[in-house]
Amino acid sequence: MHRRERTIAKKFERLNVKIAASIEKDGINVDDVLHEDVKQVMEHYGDEILSKHPPDSFPHIFWKQQFQSASLSNAKMASSDD
């Protein structure tokens, strides 16, 4: 069982590295105004969107992760202004 967990952990780490590289290469930065607009839309419609999709569905997971990311980005921006 431990071997399987290690294998999964290694695959997970490789995928994280690939995702980070893809974001670095293809990601875009948005200005603060656009970021806040998108975040407000997500806050306003988040519950409605999440309620329309099962918790284990791609749209549900994707929306939650995007909202969490937007919230973290906002917190990072606020702390970097200090």
- Read off the pLDDT of each residue in 12-19 and give the average, rounded to a whole number: 94
pLDDT given for residue 74 in this prediction? 57
> 82 near 68, Cβ under 8 Å?
no
Eight-class DSSP state of 82: -
- Read off the pLDDT of each residue in 7-11 and give the average, rounded to a whole number: 95
pLDDT single digits (tens) 20-72: 999 889 988 888 898 889 889 999 999 999 999 999 999 999 999 988 888 87
Q: What is the pTM of this model?
A: 0.52
Q: Rounded to an integer, what distance in angstroms lies between the CA atom of residue 78 and that of residue 10?
A: 33
Q: Rounded to an integer, what distance in angstroms lies between the CA atom of residue 37 and that of residue 21?
A: 27
